[in-house]
Structure 1
Amino acid sequence: MEASDPAFPVRHTALSSVIKGHKTEIVISSYEDHFLVIATQIGAMGTILQARKEESVSVDSTFSVTVVFGKRDEPMLVACARQLIEHISNSGSSKALVLSLGLRDHSLGTLKGIVSAVVEKLVEVT
């Protein structure tokens, strides 16, 4: 299921998918300076992370990811946010990312499925 209401002032897309046996709802919104991505299997926001590309004079890009609310001891959630912000940056956008992950399963397979689904749909809101 996909949805994008042209009357809504923020560009967005939504999808529903089964990832590792769990129904997963994903909403991606594009604001002026941020992307908001909500991925939930529990019907709630879950852990909220913020990720951004750090401006520097060096050639190598650096990224920062912080947990705003929720599980601070889940390195896989941080890795998911880092993968997404790297993709956003590599696609030419300078927007930061706010990511909400309400997941039943924090396995590598689940998080790869979320990253894959978001990257595929991110084009629709840019």
Structure 2
Amino acid sequence: MAMETSDPLFPVRQTTLCLDIQGNKTDIIVSSYEDHFLVIVTQIGSMGTILHARKEEGVSIDPTFNVAVVFGKRDEPMLAACARKLIEHISNSGSSKALVLSLGLRDHSMGTLKGIVSAVIEKLF
């Protein structure tokens, strides 16, 4: 269930969600800053791998996206794919904000990552 938790006087809008993904309790927090979205997804109660994703501005008609691991697991391409799907959705929705994504997961399966992307897109954006 998504719920708005921001104090109306606080300038950062924050939304939280707790759901079951592939049998694991998953907490999702989305904070919307002026120039970034911060999305924290955890099944372990801590931040985990942190990725930064942004749309590259250029002369090409087709958009290019840059995804980098800030720290954490660099050998898991599915985590980068999760960030890429989210930044593509953010960009396609008309926003130019970058994404900072934290994934603290017990289960790194494709099903879990698809569930996370779906939950963030459908319930929070």
TM-score, scaled to structure 1:
0.94
1:37 Cα offset (Å): 0.0
TM-superposition CA deviations, 1:25-49 (whole Å, max 9, x none): 0000000000000000000000000
CA distance, structure 2, for counterparts of residue 111 and residue 62 of structure 1: 22
4+ aligned runs moved over 6 Å, structure 1: none
Structure 2 stretches lacking a partner, 5+ long: none
CA distance, structure 2, for counterparts of residue 4 and residue 61 of structure 1: 33
Identity score, percent:
76
CA distance, structure 2, for counterparts of residue 71 and residue 100 of structure 1: 11
TM-superposition CA deviations, 1:40-87 (whole Å, max 9, x none): 000000000000000010101000000001000000000000000000
1:4 Cα offset (Å): 1.9
TM-score, scaled to structure 2:
0.95
8 Å contact kept, 2:52–2:69: yes
For 1:5-20, what aligned pairs fall within 5 Å after superposition? 5-7=6-8, 8-20=10-22
Q: CA RMSD in A?
A: 1.0
CA distance, structure 2, for counterparts of residue 79 and residue 5 of structure 1: 29
Q: What residue in structure 1 maps to residue 39 of structure 2?
A: 37
Structure 1 stretches lacking a partner, 5+ long: none
